[in-house]
Amino acid sequence: MADEALVSCVATLSAVFILGGDITRAQNREHLGGLDWRSLRGLEEDKTGPMPSYERVEAGSCLHRMNPSLLLIPSGGKSNLPTAGDSPPIATVMAAELRELGVASTAIIEETQSFTTQEHFVHCSAIARARRWNSAEIGILAPSGATDTLTITLSNGGTTGTLSGSGLSGGTNGVCTLAAAAAATITSELDALVFTPKAGAPTML
């Protein structure tokens, strides 16, 4: 039986973002209804080292069983493997695996643009803002202990205004950086950033 504290926490969530690692060819060409690809598992590597996704897919399906109203957002675009060729987006493979584990298609939103960890934060945050989810409603499944930085570049070299918020540094020529932190922290800090336009300038990042 799942821990009661975990069940209570999951019950308050609207969505869980599943940050993808990478994919590889499946041995069985009929795998996932002929998709012919699968998520990396365990210590399987792409060009950058171990990049498993499947354990996070399994965790996401478990969380969905605890809270069937939960939306799951697998996130990942092009594979980093040199042999990937015309592979489907990583998120598409993860979504198929979620369905195989019993998650309904209506509970899955694919984010297929991200290639780097930084892009995961940008595109997933955009989905959260569009859905008007606050940081307390969001869960993130990412590699244990993983941290990253996020660089934000303002349009027109930052001449249209300034960006401010917790963990933010820089600003020269409109280039700002959120300090290295866990995925949940960076997502929360990104959501809380404030853009202050200069008088007469368009309010555009």
94 & 150 share domain: no
Strands (E), the chain: 15-19, 23-25, 37-39, 45-46, 49-50, 71-75, 138-141, 147-153, 161-164, 168-170, 175-182, 194-197
91 SS3 class: helix
Strand ranges of the sheet holding 175-182, from the earlier edge strand across to the other edge = 147-153, 175-182, 168-170
Q: How far is it, in rounded angstroms, from Cα 157 to Cα 13?
A: 37
Residue 139: strand pairing partners: 16
Residue of 167, 160, 171, 172 lying closest to 202 (CA atoms) = 160
Residue 48 belongs to domain with CATH number: 3.40.50
98 & 189 share domain: no
Residue of 39, 44, 42 lying closest to 90 (CA atoms) = 39
pLDDT mean over 85-109? 93
Is residue 162 scored above 50 in pLDDT?
yes
132 & 33 share domain: yes
Is residue 37 scored above 70 in pLDDT?
yes
99 & 38 share domain: yes
Domain that holds residue 51: 4-143
Using CA atoms in the order 142, 147, 148, 150, what is the torsion angle rounded to 10 degrees? 80
Higher pLDDT pick, 79 / 158: 79
pLDDT at residue number 150: 65
Higher pLDDT pick, 188 / 23: 23
Q: Are 193 and 122 in contact (CB under 8 A)?
A: no
pLDDT band at 129 (very low <50, low <70, confident <90, very high): very high
54 & 74 share domain: yes
Is residue 116 scored above 90 in pLDDT?
no
End residue of a domain, out of 122, 143, 164: 143
* Whole-number percent of the chain with pLDDT over 90: 32
Residue 58, H or E segment: helix 54-66
Cα–Cα distances (Å) from 194 to 21, 163, 184, 205, in that order, read 31, 6, 18, 11
157 DSSP assignment: G
Is residue 66 scored above 60 in pLDDT?
yes
Is residue 74 scored above 60 in pLDDT?
yes
16 & 94 share domain: yes
> What's the total number of domains in the chain?
2
129 & 160 share domain: no
21 & 43 share domain: yes
171 & 88 share domain: no
138 & 165 share domain: no
pLDDT mean over 47-53? 75
Is residue 173 scored above 50 in pLDDT?
yes
